[in-house]
Amino acid sequence: QVQLVESGGGSVQAGGSLRLSCAASGRTFSTYGWFRQAPGKEREFVGAALWSTSSDYADSVKGRFSITRSYTKNTVYLQMNSLKPEDTALYYCGGAEHLSRVVKDYDYWGQGTQVTVSS
């Protein structure tokens, strides 16, 4: 059974940092993507990494967020620095077989972890 489990969300003040984790079991994906969804909005792309060779980030987070992988733990991390109130959302991790910004390209999803940034 394939599972993706996110953790690490919480409440921080603007300018703070958080590190989200996505632990995968049952399968290793070549690509892990992070997406977020705020209330009343569609799920939007945050960033994705293909193995450790390529990565892609939304303009809104470029330079502030970064994705790393631990192959021994089959876990992907989203390091979020200089957080802003507009980063507040439910963050999801997805698994795919190629680098993509498109939600439907991701075959599996976790349940999400909430990030709240106060001003």
pLDDT of 50 strictly over 90 = yes
> Residue 43: which of 33, 32, 51 has the closest Cα?
33
68-84: pLDDT as tens digits? 999 999 999 999 999 99
CA angle 16/68/19 to nearest 5° reads 25
Per-residue tokens: 96: 């795919």
The yes-or-no verdict on residue 95 having pLDDT over 90 is yes
Collapsing DSSP to helix, strand or coil, 54 comes out as strand
Other Cβ atoms less than 10 A from the Cβ of 97: the count is: 12
Using the predicted structure, report yes or no on whether residue 52 has a pLDDT greater than 90. no
